[in-house]
């Protein structure tokens, strides 16, 4: 099996070639917008049928190469399937295939077909990218232009992944806002410093938005980029640590399936600040990082239902008998059945690990109350003594 990942590499672009790249990006965006208009008007979302409708007219109008037009058609169809409504394409990216792109490992260069023809660009990359690209023959990539005016190319490479077998060892991971992630092996990432950074960005944005000037809009874009990069950096660190811990002991990772959790939380009555704090953190991004890193490392990942994981005691597997009440109070969990007391997020992560072990190796029963089993053993022993 293999895992497809994107290797981000910076291009060294001479000043005289910047205009050619921008012209190609603008032509590709214009082509996508023309194709989108035709697809909406004709209500045609089939790649082959749309190709026959737009190919000649779009190529004549934009002056793009043949394969660029084909990639523009695929881009429009792909975006229409991915999102509910596509409004307009901007000149920020260009899809490339094996006919319009080539990576050369010997001198770390890439050949990209522009409207003026094939051009070679040197790559400005480090050891991490070189190791991922070593021995690869990629056939697709995406040329990008950032808001700062830099050019990057995302090269798609296939990495062989070791098979993931069944293992009774499972590390449960509880995701939350108070603590971003809490693992059953004892690791935890507190949300307090993260929350202070996000609140600071929110205050600055509110102050800048009130000015409504051109410079304030530029500052808002820079702030958005900083907060996004901070989230990506932290999620990469968390996912890397979790996968490394699981690989070191030959364990699987168990996560809660939080699909749709944001929509369900937004229906509950909350303050504006609470709504912003819940919606501003990229939990799905963290899940995606864990999934692809685990696949490369050969670590199994299982998803369990989130219901009652934070309300169940990991020691006796009991929850509060009265509906609407819980043994959890903030960060403290105190079980009213067995008396266990400790960190609520750690308790939830252990419950998730037990559920994950049941999903990963269902032939081995694991979810049973140890206290009930102990009492049952005592009853059997007393029965034997009374018979004797």
Domain that holds residue 140: 2-160
Could you say which of 102, 128, 160 is where a domain stops? 160
Query: How is residue 218 written in tokens?
Result: 């530029």
- The answer to whether residues 134 and 187 belong to one domain is no
Does residue 218 fall inside a structural domain? no
Residues 122 and 101 in one domain: yes
- Provide mean pLDDT across the span 354-374: 66
Query: Which of 19-28, 271-280, 296-305 is predicted least confidently?
Result: 271-280
Q: Is the pLDDT of residue 375 over 60?
A: no
Same domain, 148 and 179: no
Answer yes or no: do 195 and 314 share one domain: yes
Rg (CA), the chain: 27
Q: Domain for residue 384, yes or no?
A: no
The pLDDT, as a whole number, for residue 8 is 94
Question: Quick one: pLDDT at residue 268?
Answer: 58
Do 182 and 110 share a structural domain? no
CATH at residue 252: 3.30.420
Answer whether residue 33 shows pLDDT above 90.
yes
Q: Is the pLDDT of residue 167 over 90?
A: no
Ranking 176-185, 259-268, 289-298, 341-350 by mean pLDDT, the lowest is 259-268
DSSP string of 18-54, one letter each residue: HHHHHHHHHHHHHHHHHHHHHHHHHT---HHHHHHHH
Asked whether the predicted pLDDT for residue 54 surpasses 70, the reply is yes
What's the DSSP call for residue 119?
E
Residues 274 and 176 in one domain: yes
Residues 177 and 112 in one domain: no
Q: What is the structure's pLDDT at 264? A: 58
DSSP for 131-174 reads HHHTT-----EEEEE-TTS-EEEEEEEEEE-PPP---S-EEEEE
The region of weakest confidence among 22-26, 96-100, 206-210 is 206-210
Q: Evaluate whether residue 38 is within a structural domain.
A: yes
Predicted confidence at residue 383, as pLDDT, reads 42
The answer to whether position 194 is within a domain reads yes
Q: Which two tokens stand for residue 296?
A: 């490369």
Out of 114-123, 256-265, 279-288, least confident range:
256-265
CA 193 to mean position of chain CA atoms: 22
286 and 139 assigned to the same domain: no
**Contacting residues for 367 by C-beta, under 8 A, at least 6 apart:** 317, 354, 355, 358
Asked if the structure places residue 222 within a domain, the reply is no
**Residue 271 DSSP one-character state:** -
pLDDT digits (tens, 9 = 90+) for 143-160: 999 988 999 999 999 888
Is 47 a residue whose pLDDT tops 50? Answer: yes
Q: Report the number of distinct structural domains present in the chain.
A: 2
Q: Does 144 lie in the same domain as 28? A: yes
Same domain, 129 and 174: no
Residue 106 maps to a domain: yes
Task: Name the residue with higher pLDDT: 371 or 291.
Answer: 291
Does pLDDT of 245 surpass 80?
yes
183 in Cβ contact with 171 (< 8 Å)? yes
Q: What is the mean pLDDT of residues 4-8?
A: 90
pLDDT 10s digits, 276-320: 555 556 778 888 899 989 988 889 999 988 888 888 998 888 888
69 in any annotated domain: yes
pLDDT at 229 over 50: yes
* pTM of structure: 0.72
Residues 16 and 142 in one domain: yes
Average pLDDT, the chain: 84
**For residue 137, how many other CB atoms are within 10 A of its CB?**
11
pLDDT at 388: 44
Distance CA 150, CA 144 (A): 8
Q: How far is CA 379 from CA 9, 255, 337, 368, 385, in A?
A: 67, 37, 19, 17, 10
Statement to judge: residues 92 and 189 lie in one domain: no
What are the structure tokens assigned to 340, written together? 């266990």
Distance of alpha carbon 197 from alpha carbon 58, whole angstroms? 47
Residue 281 pLDDT:
62
Residue 304 lies in a domain: yes
Mean pLDDT (whole number) for 195-210: 75
Is the pLDDT confidence value at 360 over 60? Answer: yes
* pLDDT over 50 (residue 384): no
> Does the pLDDT value for residue 51 go beyond 70?
yes
Which tops the pLDDT comparison, 253 or 198? 253
């Amino acid at each position: 099996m293999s895992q497809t990942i994107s290797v981000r590499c910076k291009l060294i672009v001479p000043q005289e070639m910047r205009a050619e790249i921008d012209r190609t990006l603008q032509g590709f965006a214009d082509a996508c917008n023309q194709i989108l208009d035709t697809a909406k008007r004709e209500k045609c979302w089939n790649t082959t049928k749309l190709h026959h409708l737009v190919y000649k007219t779009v190529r004549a109008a934009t002056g793009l190469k043949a394969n660029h037009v084909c990639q523009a058609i695929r881009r429009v169809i792909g975006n229409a399937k991915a999102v509910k409504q596509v409004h307009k394409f901007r000149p920020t990216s260009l899809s490339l295939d094996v006919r319009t792109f080539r990576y050369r490992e010997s001198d770390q260069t890439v050949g990209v077909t522009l409207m003026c023809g094939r051009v070679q660009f040197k790559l400005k990359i480090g050891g991490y990218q070189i190791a991922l690209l070593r021995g690869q023959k990629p056939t697709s990539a995406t040329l990008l232009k950032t808001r700062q005016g830099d050019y990057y190319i995302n090269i798609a490479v296939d990495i062989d992944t070791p098979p993931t077998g069944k293992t009774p060892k499972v590390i449960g991971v509880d995701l939350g806002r108070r603590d971003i992630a809490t693992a059953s092996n004892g690791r935890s990432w507190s949300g307090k410093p993260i929350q202070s950074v996000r609140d600071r960005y929110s205050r600055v944005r509110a102050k800048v938005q009130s000015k409504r000037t051109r410079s304030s809009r530029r500052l808002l874009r820079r702030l958005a980029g900083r907060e996004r990069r901070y989230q990506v950096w932290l999620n990469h660190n968390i996912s890397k640590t979790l996968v490394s811990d699981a690989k070191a002991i030959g364990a699987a990772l168990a996560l809660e399936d939080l699909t749709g959790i944001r929509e369900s939380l937004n229906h509950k009555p909350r303050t504006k600040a609470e709504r912003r704090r819940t919606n501003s953190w990229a939990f799905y991004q963290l899940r995606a990082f864990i999934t692809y890193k685990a696949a490369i490392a050969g670590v199994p990942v299982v998803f369990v239902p989130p219901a009652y994981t934070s309300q169940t005691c990991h020691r006796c597997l009991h929850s509060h008998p009265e509906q609407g009440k819980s043994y959890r109070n903030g960060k403290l969990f105190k079980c009213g059945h067995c008396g266990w007391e400790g960190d609520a997020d750690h308790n939830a992560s252990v419950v998730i690990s037990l559920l994950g072990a049941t999903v990963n190796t269902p032939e081995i029963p694991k979810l049973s109350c140890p206290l009930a089993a102990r009492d049952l053993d005592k009853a059997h022993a007393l029965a034997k003594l009374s018979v004797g």
